[in-house]
């Protein structure tokens, strides 16, 4: 149904000469190159850029920053830095505005408004999707019209707005009867509903419960913070669910395509009302450029690239999808060229032209071809694996979606079980190795699952988007323009494009990464003018034993052999109880345990420590820990020991520290009462203590260090600028890896005999 087109009277450049073009989304993938081409080849065209300023960067600075990117390499070489700045001064106006929040103030005199900004995510929460893709477009065009212009509109959409269909899709208005106004209103209202639902007591209790499971030892504040974080996550997840389900119930695969479709309808109505010429351009999957600015130019990773990279790393054993299905990919420069040609050839005011910029109908790329060429590429150019040769790429059999889903489900179940097992293993190096391996496997399974969920529709597709109108536009161009601004999808040589252009481009960073030594985060100890603290947790960090063990030990040393059996039975009999209390709240455990010292003489305990506990502690203390403490001292740092143990028991290590913060046992008449004279310093109480200490001593924590082994010490670690996880438990290990904190293994010195129970105390 394509009407014959008059040959374009003038070239694209001439058509846009003397015109002013408004561009949105210039910091993104597509408009970036449109902008570059306008600067480079349209000397008589003025450009107005609508850019949102960010904290720390004005909109103009963001544009200047763009010039440093590789898309501008060719142009920069031609005209130099100064030439670019000159162009920016002479031909470009940057205006600050956020159409997500309302109508931006746009100056008059706009001849062409090209809107290509969109939500990047396929799966945003439903309100965000609508606000950006529908309301945002309306705000933008509204702002342009309010500024007094009557421009030709070029609206960038996506081929997939056609939704879930089979067969051939023509270039025309979408056929549906969805009321976009109602959908928009309800989408925005959904957030209120979900936020309200998340605040119901039973929901909040559930968040609190799971937060408490993980953080109860750190303290109530940490629990509360975590519960709130969980609530927010839940809200987002729920709104994403709202969006996806609503989209699917109306025949769209995801919120992105759904809101884009709604946006098209809204823009069509707006253009008709204001009788503006409107062109809607619908590209399919946009990937790296074919020739311009240079072959393989890409900014960030687009849809297929994470999968290509993961495949090259051998991480995707199988992927759902129909082997014969068409993967509709189009190089970015084809889209840019089409946009410029469309902008130069607007329809009559009040009319709408739809263009599909896609390859599926005349130059189809089948899923198995894509797979085979990429596989061949990786076989010829495998990704290096540092120190282990090269990655092996898997062979896909395309066994069908059901089988792949079954495989995925099984893998998911296995990693879930493995995860439960490893997080309950005792703290050790091999536990941490296991955690790392399980996390890696889990990430792989999650990755494949997420991408197959998300892209299922794109890889299973049996739909063909015709591009007759786009082709007709191309054919109407002057010969010169055809060579200069090619966008005929039939021109793409897929094998060449995939193997020589695209795959090298998206794997380049992986190859460079493997050449460099992976920089493990390390601790750098620096001397500074201002006071610096070095805080050390004791149990599990400096001393390789837990509180229970060291107390049992100290207790034994205090008894005559005749008393041993009774005491042992009493202590060991209660160990499960102690451990349970300790799991819940270390403070409670300490209170319970210190009760055993009721009536013990202060002097006796001091002697016990000097005679027996000292040796035990020095033997259990990690040499690496002591070395590190001393390094900090040598650098002039103030060393602080924070322990849950009673101060009397840590005396053997106290010469290493400027400050020792331990539990204080109450004394009366030279004997311990079994009570603590101050609450035990555990979990977030440590961070609170630290903040107060810093206030009193006028110390900045930015340069300070903290060493701890347990997730419950997170508040303490987070308080300082240089946190270090030492032989961490599974949760802290994960956290530290994510944050790229240094992780150190401090253990007992190799070769030392096992610590035995002390010889019974000599009573004199």
Partner 1 sequence: MPRPGFVLQVDERTPPLLVPEGEGFRMQKFPLGTRVVYPPDPLPGVRDVPSAVRHALLNPVGDSKPLPELLFPGMQLTIAVDDISIPLPPMRTPDIRQPILEHVIELAARSGVEDVELIVATALHRRMTAAEIRRAVGERVYRSFYPEHLKNFDAEDPQGLTHIGMTDEGEDVEISKRAAESDLIVYVNINLVAMDGGHKSVAVGLAGYRSLKHHHNVHTMMHSKSYMDPREGHSAINDSVNRMGRVLRDAGVKIFQIETTVNSETFPSNLGFLNKREWEWGASDQAMMMAAKKANDVAPPRVRREFFRRIEAPYKLTGVNAGEVEAVHERTLTNLHRQQLVEVQGQADVLIMGVPYLGPYNVNSILNPILVHCLGLGYLFNMYRNKPLVKQGGVIILHHPVPWEFHSIHHPSYIDFFEEVLAESTDPKTIETKFEERYATDPWYVHLYRTSHAYHGVHPFYMWYWGAHGRDHAGDVIFVGGNPSSVARLGYRRADSMRDALEMAKDTVGSSPSITYFHAPPVMIADVH
Q: What are the residues binding partner 1 (CB under 8 A)?
A: 614-615, 618-619, 621, 623-624, 626-627, 630, 652, 655-656, 748-754
**Based on CB atoms, which residue is closest to partner 1, 132 or 544?**
544
Find out whether 388 and 345 touch, Cβ atoms under 8 Å: no
Q: Which helix (H) or strand (E) holds 337?
A: helix 332-344
Structure tokens at 30: 């597509």
Output phi, psi for 104, to 5 deg: -75, 155
Sequence-distant (6+) residues with CB within 8 A of 160 are 253, 257, 260, 284, 457, 458
**Based on CB atoms, which residue is closest to partner 1, 428 or 749?**
749
**Based on CB atoms, which residue is closest to partner 1, 115 or 628?**
628
Minimum CB distance to partner 1, residue 536 (Å): 14
What stretches of 659-701 adopt beta strand conformation (E)?
659-663, 665-668, 671-676
Cis peptide, bond prior to residue 208, ω within 30 of zero? no
Residue 707 to residue 723: CA distance in whole angstroms: 6
**Based on CB atoms, which residue is closest to partner 1, 437 or 630?**
630
**Based on CB atoms, which residue is closest to partner 1, 240 or 724?**
724
Residue 147 to residue 749: CA distance in whole angstroms: 76
Structure tokens at 751: 């070769």
Minimum CB distance to partner 1, residue 737 (Å): 25
What stretches of 116-176 adopt beta strand conformation (E)?
152-156, 167-169
Minimum CB distance to partner 1, residue 759 (Å): 9
Minimum CB distance to partner 1, residue 628 (Å): 11
Residue carrying the six token digits 């200069």: 484
Structure tokens at 371: 């797979």
**Based on CB atoms, which residue is closest to partner 1, 652 or 760?**
652
Residue 597 to residue 607: CA distance in whole angstroms: 15
Q: Which helix (H) or strand (E) holds 355?
A: strand 352-357
Closest to 642 in 3D by CA, of 657, 627, 628: 657
**Based on CB atoms, which residue is closest to partner 1, 653 or 663?**
653
**Based on CB atoms, which residue is closest to partner 1, 232 or 654?**
654
Burial bucket for residue 93 (CB in 10 Å: 0-12, 13-18, 19+) = middle
Minimum CB distance to partner 1, residue 364 (Å): 59
Q: Which helix (H) or strand (E) holds 707?
A: strand 705-708
Structure tokens at 10: 């003038």
**Based on CB atoms, which residue is closest to partner 1, 389 or 751?**
751
Minimum CB distance to partner 1, residue 681 (Å): 25
Residue 32 to residue 19: CA distance in whole angstroms: 19
**Based on CB atoms, which residue is closest to partner 1, 85 or 627?**
627
Structure tokens at 735: 């956290």
Minimum CB distance to partner 1, residue 651 (Å): 11
**Based on CB atoms, which residue is closest to partner 1, 61 or 631?**
631
Output phi, psi for 273, to 5 deg: -65, -45
Closest to 661 in 3D by CA, of 533, 511, 505: 533
Structure tokens at 266: 């809204």
**Based on CB atoms, which residue is closest to partner 1, 281 or 621?**
621
Other beta carbons within 10 Å of 279: 26
Residue 232 to residue 228: CA distance in whole angstroms: 6
Structure tokens at 2: 């394509």
Minimum CB distance to partner 1, residue 94 (Å): 56
**Based on CB atoms, which residue is closest to partner 1, 599 or 655?**
655
Minimum CB distance to partner 1, residue 655 (Å): 5
Residue 744 to residue 725: CA distance in whole angstroms: 6
DSSP SS3 for 569: helix
Q: How far apart are the first and last CA of the chain?
A: 110
Residue 159 to residue 171: CA distance in whole angstroms: 9
Q: Find the Cα–Cα–Cα–Cα dihedral 720, 726, 728, 733, rounded to 10°.
A: 60
Find out whether 157 and 264 touch, Cβ atoms under 8 Å: yes
Sequence-distant (6+) residues with CB within 8 A of 93 are 46, 47, 48, 49, 107
Structure tokens at 390: 């090269």
Minimum CB distance to partner 1, residue 542 (Å): 12
Minimum CB distance to partner 1, residue 213 (Å): 37
DSSP string, 433-451: HHHHHHHHHHHHHHHHHHH
**Based on CB atoms, which residue is closest to partner 1, 203 or 748?**
748
**Based on CB atoms, which residue is closest to partner 1, 477 or 621?**
621
Minimum CB distance to partner 1, residue 631 (Å): 9
Minimum CB distance to partner 1, residue 413 (Å): 39
**Based on CB atoms, which residue is closest to partner 1, 326 or 538?**
538
């Amino acid at each position: 149904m394509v009407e014959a087109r008059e040959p374009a009277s003038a070239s694209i450049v001439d058509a846009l000469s003397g015109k002013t073009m408004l561009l949105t989304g210039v910091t993104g993938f597509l408009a970036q190159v449109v902008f570059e081409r306008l600067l480079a080849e349209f000397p008589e065209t003025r450009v107005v850029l609508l850019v949102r300023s960010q904290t720390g960067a004005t909109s103009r600075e963001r544009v200047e920053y763009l010039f440093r990117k590789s898309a501008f390499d060719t142009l920069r070489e031609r005209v130099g830095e100064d030439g670019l700045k000159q162009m920016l001064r002479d031909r470009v106006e940057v205006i600050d505005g956020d159409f997500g929040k309302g109508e931006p103030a746009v100056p008059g005199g706009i001849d062409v408004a090209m809107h290509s900004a969109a939500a990047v995510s396929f799966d945003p929460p439903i309100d965000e999707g609508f606000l950006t893709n529908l309301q945002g477009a309306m705000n933008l065009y509204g702002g342009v019209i309010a500024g007094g212009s009557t421009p030709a509109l070029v609206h960038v959409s996506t081929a997939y707005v056609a939704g879930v269909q089979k067969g051939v899709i023509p270039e025309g208005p979408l056929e549906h009867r969805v009321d976009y106004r109602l959908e928009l209103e309800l989408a925005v209202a959904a957030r209120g509903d979900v936020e309200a639902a998340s605040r119901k007591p039973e929901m909040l209790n559930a968040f609190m419960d799971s937060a408490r499971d993980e953080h109860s030892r750190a303290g109530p504040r940490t629990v509360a913070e975590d519960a709130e974080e969980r609530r927010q996550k839940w809200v987002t997840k729920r709104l994403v669910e709202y969006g996806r389900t609503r989209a699917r119930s109306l025949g769209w695969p995801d919120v992105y395509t759904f809101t884009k479709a709604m946006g098209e309808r809204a823009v069509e109505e707006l253009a008709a009302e204001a009788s503006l010429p409107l062109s809607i351009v619908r590209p399919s999957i946009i990937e790296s450029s074919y020739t311009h600015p240079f072959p393989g130019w890409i900014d960030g990773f687009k849809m297929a690239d994470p999968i290509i990279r993961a495949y090259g790393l051998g991480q995707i054993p199988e992927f759902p999808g129909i082997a014969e299905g068409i993967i509709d990919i189009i190089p970015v420069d084809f889209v840019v060229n089409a946009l410029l040609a469309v902008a130069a050839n607007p329809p009559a005011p009040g009319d709408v032209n739809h263009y599909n910029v896609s390859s599926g109908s005349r130059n189809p790329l089948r899923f198995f071809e894509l797979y085979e060429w990429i596989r061949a590429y990786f076989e010829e150019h495998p990704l290096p694996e540092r120190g282990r040769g090269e990655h092996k790429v898997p062979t896909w059999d395309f066994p069908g979606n059901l089988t792949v889903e079954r495989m995925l489900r099984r893998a998911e179940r296995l990693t879930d079980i493995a995860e439960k097992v490893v997080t309950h293993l005792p703290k050790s190096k091999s536990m941490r190795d296991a955690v790392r391996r399980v996390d890696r496997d889990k990430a792989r399974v999650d990755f494949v699952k997420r991408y197959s969920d998300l892209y299922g529709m794109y890889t299973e597709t049996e739909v063909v988007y015709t591009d007759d109108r786009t082709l007709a536009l191309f054919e109407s161009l002057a010969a010169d323009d055809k060579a200069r601004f090619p966008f005929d999808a039939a021109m793409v040589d897929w094998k060449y494009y995939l193997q020589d252009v695209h795959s090298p481009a998206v794997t380049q960073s992986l190859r460079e990464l493997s050449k460099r030594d992976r920089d493990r985060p390390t601790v750098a100890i620096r001397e500074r003018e201002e006071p610096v603290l070095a805080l050390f947790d004791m149990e599990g960090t400096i001393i390789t034993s837990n509180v229970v063990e060291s107390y049992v030990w100290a207790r034994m040393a205090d008894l005559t052999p005749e008393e041993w059996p009774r005491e042992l039975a009493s202590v060991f009999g209660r160990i499960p109880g102690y451990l349970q209390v300790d799991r819940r709240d270390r403070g409670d455990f300490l209170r319970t345990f210190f009760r055993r010292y009721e009536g013990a003489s202060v002097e006796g305990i001091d002697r016990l420590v000097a005679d027996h506990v000292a040796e035990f502690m020095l033997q259990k203390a990690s040499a690496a820990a002591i070395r590190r403490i001393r390094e900090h001292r040598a650098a002039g740092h103030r060393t602080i020991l924070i322990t849950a143990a009673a101060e009397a028991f840590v005396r053997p290590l106290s010469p290493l520290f400027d400050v020792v913060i331990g539990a204080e046992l109450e004394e009366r008449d030279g004997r311990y009462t079994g009570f603590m004279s101050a609450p035990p310093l555990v979990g977030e109480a440590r961070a609170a203590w630290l903040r107060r200490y810093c206030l009193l001593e006028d110390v900045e924590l930015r340069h300070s260090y903290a060493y701890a082994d347990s997730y419950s010490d997170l508040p303490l670690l987070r308080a300082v600028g240089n946190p270090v996880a030492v032989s961490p438990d599974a949760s802290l290990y994960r956290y530290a890896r994510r944050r790229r904190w240094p992780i150190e293994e401090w253990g007992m010195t190799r070769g030392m005999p096992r610590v035995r129970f002390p010889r019974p105390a000599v009573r004199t």
